[in-house]
């Protein structure tokens, strides 16, 4: 065999070794991170070669290397499988930055958020692309906020910066119809922290909590980690399944219902007025506290029905934040609660974080008072509308449909194939996808995936999706594969 032919089957030398070594390290990393579980089957040699753009012999070399490391085992005429006894001991140090980790669970999805580069947006992420944000606005706001340097030398107020609470009370009352006094507002380190404060204030381990299904994966994981019993309420286009909700309340007597009324995550659905009215009636009759997560408030129409507006904050705790519209690292959030709960919530906040950063809170307050945040949000929502139109077309061209009306930041896309292995395949090509099973309680296989309209506009992503889907279908049904060439050709 000539040297030219030998070299054609070998990746150029690189810092991380040959192509076979890098591919082996890629799988070693996934095994070490338990993204490939013990007993999981590795892709066939041909599928793996096609997915990674290498030759079958390169894949064989990579699998042999993994077998020598004790990470996988070969099963005659069945393929290669992760060894059950050694999966946890995979050498993470061997893993190069070959691809994004597959988002097979909530923690992996969150970790991937911090690895995704601005040059390669993650369609599965929950944030706006960096290029959509306004760093000049943030700089101006910070300069204003630090004008009085003395305030930065001491703790802030227990309930939060007064300027932000005043500004937010005005926005809630004047723009969203939520009658609210600044004394009812407590600030937090982002909306997730606000949700955590509420749960720790009102629940104890073992309590039952109603949650949307599908719903926000991080909230499900957080409540489960606190020892709560999650009661999934099926979520439809107009709101929760009220019959299922009534049955769960009668059987389990839950303390809270954590829900997203406006631009529901992951479906983008909006709560109807009729459904909101019936949810409030159920809450009143069963002494249920409603926790309304309005994280994406700045991307939603102000007139959309909010439980807190209809309820007057009597048994509703309203949660919102600013990191989704200003910048992910601006961890500023807040909650508005019934007066009787405020002191208990402030006490929990003090125990969890002492206070919150007054400088950032004052900067956000200035953006609100000057109308700059509203104008920035208008620009973003206009751009998002155009992005949605493009993504809907690309998704339809790729043979997908939307399981809910496309609106807001997220699309709930029906792919026709289990999206967990699909996500793993796409992670191998550097695309972060949020498979549907992440959003269900309990977790289960799903043919749906959540895409971020702002970061799923790249046609390359949808081409990669089609390749991964077709490869997965071929593996599931060998009859779809093209016939092998006769031996010797």
Q: What is the mean pLDDT of residues 303-309?
A: 94
The pLDDT score that the predictor gives to residue 13 is 36
**CATH number assigned to the domain comprising residue 118:** 3.90.1150.10
| Confidence label for 98 from pLDDT (cuts 50, 70 and 90) | very low
How many separate domains does the chain show?
3
In a domain, 149, yes or no: yes
The pLDDT score that the predictor gives to residue 70 is 86
In a domain, 350, yes or no: yes
Q: What percent of the chain has pLDDT over 90?
A: 65
Q: Is the pLDDT of residue 286 over 90?
A: yes
Residues 303 and 418 in one domain: no
Could you tell me how far CA 55 lies from the centroid of its own chain? 35
In a domain, 486, yes or no: no
Cis peptide preceding 160, ω within 30 of 0: no
Residues 275 and 345 in one domain: yes
Q: Is the pLDDT of residue 351 over 60?
A: yes
The string of pLDDT tens digits covering residues 147-158 is: 876 666 778 899
Q: What is the mean pLDDT of residues 369-377?
A: 96
Q: Kindly provide the b/e burial profile for residues 145-154, where b requires at least 16 CB atoms within 10 angstroms of the residue's own CB.
A: beeeeeeeee
Q: Taking a C-beta distance cutoff of 8 angstroms, is the pair 42, 63 a contact? A: yes
Residues 426 and 359 in one domain: no
The string of pLDDT tens digits covering residues 453-462 is: 999 999 999 9
Which structure tokens are listed for 107?
């923690």
In a domain, 489, yes or no: no
Residues 364 and 378 in one domain: no
The pLDDT score that the predictor gives to residue 425 is 86
Burial status of residue 281 (CB atoms within 10 A of its CB: 0-12, 13-18, 19 or more): exposed
**CATH number assigned to the domain comprising residue 243:** 3.40.640.10
Residues 58 and 77 in one domain: yes
In a domain, 15, yes or no: yes
The pLDDT score that the predictor gives to residue 488 is 36
In a domain, 436, yes or no: yes
Neighbouring CB atoms inside 10 A of 38's CB total 14
In a domain, 293, yes or no: yes
Residues 393 and 334 in one domain: no
Quote the strand ranges of 51-207, DSSP E.
Answer: 72-75, 79-82, 185-188
Q: What is the mean pLDDT of residues 456-483?
A: 81
Q: At which of 370, 403, 432 does a domain end?
A: 370
Which structure tokens are listed for 278?
């019936």
The DSSP secondary-structure symbol of 101 reads: P
Q: Is the pLDDT of residue 478 over 80?
A: no
Q: Is the pLDDT of residue 482 over 50?
A: no
Residues 199 and 288 in one domain: yes
| Confidence label for 435 from pLDDT (cuts 50, 70 and 90) | very high
| Confidence label for 100 from pLDDT (cuts 50, 70 and 90) | very low
| Listed residue (356, 287, 297) closest to 177, CA to CA | 297
Cis peptide preceding 157, ω within 30 of 0: no
Q: Return the minimum-mean-pLDDT range out of 56-65, 189-198, 316-325.
A: 56-65
Can you tell me the distance from the alpha carbon of 378 to that of 390, in angstroms, rounded to the nearest whole number?
Answer: 19
Residues 213 and 356 in one domain: yes
In a domain, 487, yes or no: no
Can you tell me the distance from the alpha carbon of 458 to that of 346, in angstroms, rounded to the nearest whole number?
Answer: 44
81 strand-pairing partners: 41, 73
257 strand-pairing partners: 210, 290
The pLDDT score that the predictor gives to residue 95 is 36
Torsion, Cα of 330, 268, 196, 371 (10° steps):
40
Q: Taking a C-beta distance cutoff of 8 angstroms, is the pair 435, 451 a contact? A: no
**CATH number assigned to the domain comprising residue 40:** 1.10.10.10
Q: Is the pLDDT of residue 485 over 50?
A: no
The string of pLDDT tens digits covering residues 103-125 is: 556 666 666 665 555 445 589 88
Q: Return the minimum-mean-pLDDT range out of 61-65, 206-210, 294-298.
A: 61-65
The pLDDT score that the predictor gives to residue 347 is 97
Can you tell me the distance from the alpha carbon of 123 to that of 387, in angstroms, rounded to the nearest whole number?
Answer: 12
The string of pLDDT tens digits covering residues 138-180 is: 999 999 998 876 666 778 899 999 999 999 999 999 999 999 9
The string of pLDDT tens digits covering residues 20-55 is: 888 998 898 888 877 788 888 899 998 898 888 899
Higher confidence at residue 358 or residue 1? 358
Residue 187 backbone dihedrals phi, psi, to 5 degrees? -85, 165
The pLDDT score that the predictor gives to residue 110 is 63
| Confidence label for 92 from pLDDT (cuts 50, 70 and 90) | very low
Can you tell me the distance from the alpha carbon of 260 to that of 404, in angstroms, rounded to the nearest whole number?
Answer: 15
Which structure tokens are listed for 295?
């994280």
Q: At which of 345, 370, 395 does a domain end?
A: 370
The string of pLDDT tens digits covering residues 378-422 is: 999 999 999 999 999 999 999 999 999 999 999 999 999 999 889
320 strand-pairing partners: 334
The pLDDT score that the predictor gives to residue 111 is 65
Residues 63 and 164 in one domain: no
Sign of the C-alpha dihedral computed for residues 103, 109, 115 and 117 taken in this order: positive
The average confidence (pLDDT) of the chain is 86
Sign of the C-alpha dihedral computed for residues 475, 430, 12 and 91 taken in this order: negative
The pLDDT score that the predictor gives to residue 379 is 97
Boundaries of domain holding 42: 3-98
Residues 345 and 396 in one domain: no
Neighbouring CB atoms inside 10 A of 403's CB total 18
Residues 114 and 182 in one domain: no
Residues 23 and 48 in one domain: yes
| Confidence label for 427 from pLDDT (cuts 50, 70 and 90) | confident
Q: At which of 50, 80, 98 does a domain end?
A: 98
Can you tell me the distance from the alpha carbon of 106 to that of 123, in angstroms, rounded to the nearest whole number?
Answer: 15
């Amino acid at each position: 065999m000539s040297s030219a032919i030998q070299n054609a089957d070998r990746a150029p030398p690189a810092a991380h070794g040959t192509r076979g070594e890098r591919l082996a390290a890629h799988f070693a990393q996934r095994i070490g991170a338990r993204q490939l579980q013990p007993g999981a089957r590795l892709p066939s040699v041909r599928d793996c070669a096609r997915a990674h753009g290498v030759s079958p012999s390169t894949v064989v070399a990579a699998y042999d290397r993994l077998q020598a490391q004790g990470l996988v085992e070969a099963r005659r005429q069945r393929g290669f499988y992760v060894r059950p006894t050694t999966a946890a001991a995979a050498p993470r140090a061997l893993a190069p930055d070959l691809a994004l980790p597959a988002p097979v669970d909530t923690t992996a999805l969150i970790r991937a958020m911090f690895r995704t580069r601005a040059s390669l947006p993650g369609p599965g992420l929950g944030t706006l692309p960096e290029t959509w944000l306004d760093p000049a606005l943030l700089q101006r706001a910070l300069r204003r906020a630090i004008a009085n340097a003395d305030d930065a030398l001491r703790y802030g107020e227990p309930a939060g910066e007064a300027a932000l609470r005043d500004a937010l009370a005005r926005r809630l009352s004047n723009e969203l119809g939520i009658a609210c006094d600044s004394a009812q507002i407590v600030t937090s380190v982002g909306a997730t922290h606000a949700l955590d404060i509420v749960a720790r204030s009102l629940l104890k381990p073992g309590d039952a909590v109603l949650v949307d299904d599908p719903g926000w994966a991080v909230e499900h994981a957080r409540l489960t980690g606190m020892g709560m019993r999650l009661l999934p309420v099926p979520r439809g286009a107009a709101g929760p399944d009220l019959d299922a909700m009534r049955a769960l309340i009668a059987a389990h007597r839950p303390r809270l219902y954590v829900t997203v009324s406006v631009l529901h995550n992951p479906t983008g659905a909006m709560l109807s007025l009729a459904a909101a009215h019936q949810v409030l009636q159920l809450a009143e009759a069963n002494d249920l506290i409603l926790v309304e997560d309005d994280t994406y408030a700045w991307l939603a129409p102000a007139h959309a029905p909010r439980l807190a507006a209809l309820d007057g904050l009597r048994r509703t705790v309203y949660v919102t934040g600013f990191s989704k519209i200003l910048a992910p690292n601006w961890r500023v959030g807040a909650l508005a609660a019934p007066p009787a709960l405020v002191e208990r919530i402030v006490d929990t906040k003090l125990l969890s974080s002492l206070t919150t950063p007054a400088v950032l809170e004052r900067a956000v307050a200035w953006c609100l008072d000057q109308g700059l945040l509203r104008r920035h949000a208008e620009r973003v929502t206009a751009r998002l509308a155009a992005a949605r139109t493009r993504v809907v077309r690309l998704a339809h061209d790729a043979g997908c449909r939307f399981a809910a009306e496309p609106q807001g930041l997220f699309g709930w896309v029906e792919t026709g194939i289990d999206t967990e292995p699909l996500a793993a395949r796409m992670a191998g090509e550097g695309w972060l996808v949020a498979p549907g099973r992440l959003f269900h309680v309990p977790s289960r296989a799903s043919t749906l995936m959540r895409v971020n309209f702002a970061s799923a506009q790249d046609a390359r992503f949808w081409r990669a999706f089609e390749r991964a889907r077709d490869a997965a279908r071929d593996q599931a049904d060998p009859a779809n594969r093209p016939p092998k060439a006769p031996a010797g050709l």
